[in-house]
Amino acid sequence: MSSYIKNTSTFKKREARFSDVSIGFGLNPFNKDLTRLTDVDAVKRSIKSLVMTNKYERLLDPEIGGNIRAMLFEPMSPLSEGILEDYIKEVIENYEPRAILISVVVQSNFDNNSFIVTITFRVDTSEALQVVDFLLERVR
């Protein structure tokens, strides 16, 4: 009687530490579930979402948000850049515990009447620096 040794090597799938549903609610083409953002991408999306949220927009937690949009209708100056930086720092430090904030830079874009925001942070589970860039502009 011959004995067979079955190869039982298992691949351990790395599970995401952080997971959020994608804002677009798109479907994954392979399993038809909602697409999700994991780890660093989830934290980046959360930071951008927090910055873009005004206070009293979320019913269950009305204090979340930075009132950034109200500042977009103020005259552009170095003072308004500093105030925006402070608002952004405050909302990230208060409501995103997964991110360790390194810097927030806000630059006025006078030609387009907008602000360019660069947020540098690292996720609490990693030493790698991450950057989120986006444009703040008036909608109305």
In this predicted model, what pLDDT tens digit does every residue of 117-130 receive, in sequence order?
A: 999 999 888 889 99
Beta-carbon contacts of residue 131 (< 8 Å; ≥ 6 apart): 118, 119, 120
Look at residue 11 in the predicted model and tell me its pLDDT: 43
pLDDT at 88 over 70: yes
Domains of the chain, earliest start first: 40-137 (3.10.450.40)
d(CA 123, CA 112): 32
Helices (H), the chain: 39-52, 68-71, 78-95
In this predicted model, what pLDDT tens digit does every residue of 29-74 receive, in sequence order?
A: 666 565 565 567 888 888 888 898 888 888 888 888 878 888 888 8
